[in-house]
Structure 1
Amino acid sequence: MDKIVIGIIGAGRIGRLHAENIVQIPQVEIKTISDIFADNAREWAAQIGIPHVTTDYQEILNDSDIDAVFICSPTNTHAPIIKEAAKAGKHIFCEKPVSFSAEETKEALQVVKEAGVKLQVGFNRRFDHNFKKVHDTVKAGTIGDTHIVKITSRDPEPPPAEYIKSSGGMFMDMSIHDFDMARYVTGSEVEEVYVQGASLVDPVFAELGDVDTAVITLKFENGAIGVIDNSRKAVYGYDQRVEVFGSKGSVSIQNDQPTTAEISTAEGVFQDKPQYFFLERYKDAYINETHAFINSVLYNTPLVCEGNDGLQAELIAKAAKESFETGKPVKVANKQYTLN
């Protein structure tokens, strides 16, 4: 295979982002994009060279010319579409999470395995230059055995109430990226989770049974201890930092800024704030994850983020929610899950 034809399911913000990245890749053609509000996408699709827009994603799955699909629709549609796409013989890129139900995710992964197609889950931070450097440094043994992992992940603004209602909650929607990152940078599974959470940013979170602020403690199978702190509102920008401390040293990354200029005057020392929005902070990571998926389909290279990675992050998120609700540490279920 020297060229891949793609269909994109979902023309919202993330679907359009992926489409605009994909059209820059010479070996790839986007033939069709589907969205229930197709009329809103037609002009944009024509501008970037997508010839066909439809309201029915089945047209993509039934098109024998299409080799792979990007699933960028709402989370509650992911698992059913994954199963349909796999049975149709399409390779699959799916945004996180695969589903809100571990059992539903397992069913989807089983169908993928039986169909023999590839499935990459959209944990884009694995493809960020900073986080990848942490992962590579730990894997190389440079800092020795991992002892402590610290992850800070704070959004610049909380999402609207309508989004919160369907998001699956902070742990499944936001912290899930950090759960995946904890596994990625340590190379170890999480075996226990303990959470303290609160609604400090906006009372709407508590009204909807969610939290906007949390500190999450992790215990890893390799003996390491981790801590994640999350907030839905950091007034100074998108706060994304990691430190891994080990027996031979440590590795840490700081926030990306528009510039690294430091201005020193009698009034103080000033630097740029962090990048404000995730689309700015992770622009290159989204491009890199797309290239990785395309290369995997074209050249059969290993996937960096497989379906099981999606499942494990969901299992940690489920344990985190249970810990918050019960006030007790919770073991992560089925962390060694394997497909039949």
Structure 2
Amino acid sequence: MKGYRIGIIGAGSIVESNHLPAIASLPGVKFAWIYDKNAVRSALVSKMYGVPALAEDAFDHAVGDVDICLLAIPYGTRKPYIDLCRRSGKAIVIEKPFAFSKEEHLATCEGFDDWAIAVNFQRRYYRSVAILRHIVRSRPLGGLRSIRFIQGNFTLKGGSGYLSSAKLAGGGVIAESSSHILDIILSVAAAKSVRLQELRSLHMDGLDYDSIFDSLVETAEGEVPVHCEISTLRNLANGLYLEFDNGLLTCDLSPDGKIFLRNKTGSGIDLSLTEVASYESIQCQATRINEAFLIFWQQFILGLGRKEANLTSACTSILTSSWLEGIYEKISI
């Protein structure tokens, strides 16, 4: 395997707890430096992982010494760093949310090879998601008829730091927390397009707190209605619910979340599908969060070496940005 040097932009908790342990496990990949405007955070992470902390005045020159940059800073501050990586011919991995429109998504990707710009939608590699994707494609329950996604956790804590600013965060709970699940829905359904129909939202200054919306996802077999409820103001029966011709599937969407098959009336658990041995053959199944990060990085490095786009590539999540575009256009009205 070709050796790669990685520069890390941002020293927040997701870098400290998830990205760095995953990257450290990759053969032939070395940390070149870490940079954060908060020098205290850079110094802390530097000591934890032995990654040289980079001073701000050395940043532009240091980008030339790496092959890949990980960009894990707030959405609203990223553009200068993306532009620098583009001009320098560096591959880049960007944290979500990636973009809030198809136009912005394509503009961000411009100048990068498809395999050289990735979005960290690592939940695509969860075991639960891989099994759902397999069931939809293999049709043991017939065709997919509808999807419901429910996420509601009441909290008295407001957004702090960049999360309190729509300019920095891009949006509220949908952008920060639920964009992963919107991406999973599109991936599981093998969506060709998505169209928002109706939306009701409690929001302020561009930050959404409680939203209910209905969309239509177009698949090869026709349109599938999708109902979503996403809230920080209500406790809800969280999960992903898929209705097929001949049964209902429910899943909590944790990496190793159990997938239950119920009859069409919704009563009685017939089978826990995650315990079926035949699904062991599905590739790239993460049963823990950090394992998903590791698989993501393994796949990104593999695609980079082969010059082939894969599930990590930004070109595979354009529909997710299009869906967010429709949602936040409604929220901003």
User: TM-score under structure 1 normalisation?
Assistant: 0.75
Report the CA distance between 1:43 and its aligned residue: 3.8
Report the CA distance between 1:135 and its aligned residue: 1.3
Report the CA distance between 1:12 and its aligned residue: 1.5
Amino acid at match of 1:124: Q
Asked if 1 retains the 8 angstrom alpha-carbon contact of 2:241 and 2:250, the reply is: yes
Secondary structure at the counterpart of residue 110 of structure 2: helix
Which residue number corresponds to residue 119 of structure 1? 117
Are residues 1:185 and 2:191 paired?
no
- Pairing of 1:255-334 with structure 2 (within 5 A): 256=254, 282-300=289-307, 302-324=309-331
Are residues 1:85 and 2:85 paired?
yes
Secondary structure at the counterpart of residue 29 of structure 1: strand
Secondary structure at the counterpart of residue 14 of structure 1: helix
The 3 A distance-change label for structure 1 pair 67 and 259 is closer
Asked if 1 retains the 8 angstrom alpha-carbon contact of 2:128 and 2:253, the reply is: no
Which residue number corresponds to residue 194 of structure 1? 197
Residue of structure 2 aligned with 1:221, choices 218, 221, 232:
218
Which residue number corresponds to residue 28 of structure 1? 29
Asked if 1 retains the 8 angstrom alpha-carbon contact of 2:201 and 2:212, the reply is: no
Report the CA distance between 1:209 and its aligned residue: 4.2
Which residue number corresponds to residue 58 of structure 1? 60
CA distance in 2 between counterparts of 1:257 and 1:72 reads 22
The 3 A distance-change label for structure 1 pair 156 and 124 is farther
Amino acid at match of 2:229: D
The 3 A distance-change label for structure 1 pair 26 and 94 is same
Amino acid at match of 1:107: A
CA distance in 1 between counterparts of 2:140 and 2:78 reads 39
Q: CA RMSD in A?
A: 3.1
Which residue number corresponds to residue 175 of structure 1? 178
Report the CA distance between 1:34 and its aligned residue: 1.2
Which residue number corresponds to residue 270 of structure 1? none
Amino acid at match of 2:179: I
Deviates more, 1:97-106 or 1:286-295: 97-106
CA displacement, residues 2-36 of structure 1 (integer Å, 9 cap, x when unaligned):
32221111112222231232112233211111111
Q: Which runs of 5+ in 1 are unaligned?
A: 200-204, 261-279, 327-340
Asked if 2 retains the 8 angstrom alpha-carbon contact of 1:89 and 1:117, the reply is: no
Report the CA distance between 1:73 and its aligned residue: 1.7
Asked if 2 retains the 8 angstrom alpha-carbon contact of 1:124 and 1:289, the reply is: yes
CA distance in 2 between counterparts of 1:117 and 1:305 reads 8
Report the CA distance between 1:37 and its aligned residue: 1.9
Amino acid at match of 1:229: E
Which residue number corresponds to residue 337 of structure 1? none
Amino acid at match of 1:160: G
Report the CA distance between 1:179 and its aligned residue: 2.2
CA displacement, residues 221-278 of structure 1 (integer Å, 9 cap, x when unaligned):
2311111111125669xx7522222234443313659999xxxxxxxxxxxxxxxxxx
Amino acid at match of 1:49: G
CA distance in 1 between counterparts of 2:255 and 2:124 reads 19
Identity of aligned residues (%): 19
CA distance in 2 between counterparts of 1:50 and 1:3 reads 17
CA displacement, residues 271-306 of structure 1 (integer Å, 9 cap, x when unaligned):
xxxxxxxxx973432232222222222444542132
Are residues 1:164 and 2:167 paired?
no
CA distance in 1 between counterparts of 2:229 and 2:77 reads 29
Report the CA distance between 1:151 and its aligned residue: 1.6
Secondary structure at the counterpart of residue 287 of structure 1: helix
The 3 A distance-change label for structure 1 pair 302 and 248 is farther
